[in-house]
């Protein structure tokens, strides 16, 4: 269960309703998530970047809440988004050029959901069979590492390495595109 839901401030049904497109639920979810995101940003961003990181995170929540795979992944996802926003803002402040992954994220954030699905589908199809198999089992079928190892007759370490390499290949495909 997410940090928000465990704290009693946000029920899993509220998150589900927001994922389903309920505008009131989404507004409530954003209002409930904002203090946690602000607290996280305050610990991980420069003081000048806190508001921008919170705003970027909440905007992405608004745009992408429907793409969450599970209610339990909300807080981890939000904190990862906030962490990336803090890093991006720090790089910008230091005059360091943005990493290519940041450019790809920015490009993908502006695409329609259907376009992202098509690009992701093509990226998965471009993988060699042994990588595609583990990605489909892990990310589509949502099997655990142990379950995948049992199905494919591999060790846990082999499964984890294949998943890692497959995700890198997908990322490269999406950046290159």
**CA nearest to 142, candidates 61, 64, 73, 65:** 73
Asked if 52 contacts 44 with a C-beta cutoff of 8 angstroms, the reply is no
CB atoms within 10 A of CB 36: 20
DSSP 56-70: HHHHHHHHHGGG-S-
**CA nearest to 177, candidates 112, 77, 104:** 104
Q: Does CATH place domain 113-176 in 3.40.50.620?
A: no
- Its pTM surpasses 0.85: no
Q: Where are the domains of the chain?
A: 3-96, 113-176
Q: What is the per-residue pLDDT for 7?
A: 41
Residue scoring higher pLDDT (134 or 81): 134
Q: What is the per-residue pLDDT for 132?
A: 92
Q: What pLDDT digit, counting tens, does each position of 17-41 carry?
A: 888 888 898 899 899 999 999 998 8
Q: Which of 13-27, 106-120, 141-155, 163-177 is predicted with the least confidence, judged by mean pLDDT?
A: 106-120
CATH number of 3-96: 1.10.1740.10
């Amino acid at each position: 269960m997410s940090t928000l839901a465990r704290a009693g401030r946000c029920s899993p049904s509220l998150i589900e309703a927001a994922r389903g497109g309920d505008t009131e639920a989404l507004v409530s979810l954003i209002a409930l998530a904002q203090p946690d995101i602000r607290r996280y940003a305050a610990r991980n961003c420069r003081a000048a970047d806190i508001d921008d990181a919170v705003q970027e995170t909440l905007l992405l929540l608004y745009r992408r809440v429907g793409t969450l795979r599970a209610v339990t992944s909300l807080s981890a996802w939000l904190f990862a988004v906030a962490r990336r926003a803090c890093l991006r803002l720090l790089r910008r402040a230091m005059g360091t050029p943005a990493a290519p992954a940041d450019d790809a994220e920015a490009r993908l954030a502006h695409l329609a959901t259907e376009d992202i699905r098509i690009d992701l589908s093509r990226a998965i199809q471009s993988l060699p069979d042994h990588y595609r198999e583990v990605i489909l089992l892990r990310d589509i079928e949502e099997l655990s590492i142990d379950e995948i190892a049992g199905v494919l007759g591999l060790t846990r370490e082999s499964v984890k390495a294949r998943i890692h390499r497959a995700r890198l290949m997908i990322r490269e495909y999406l950046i290159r595109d």
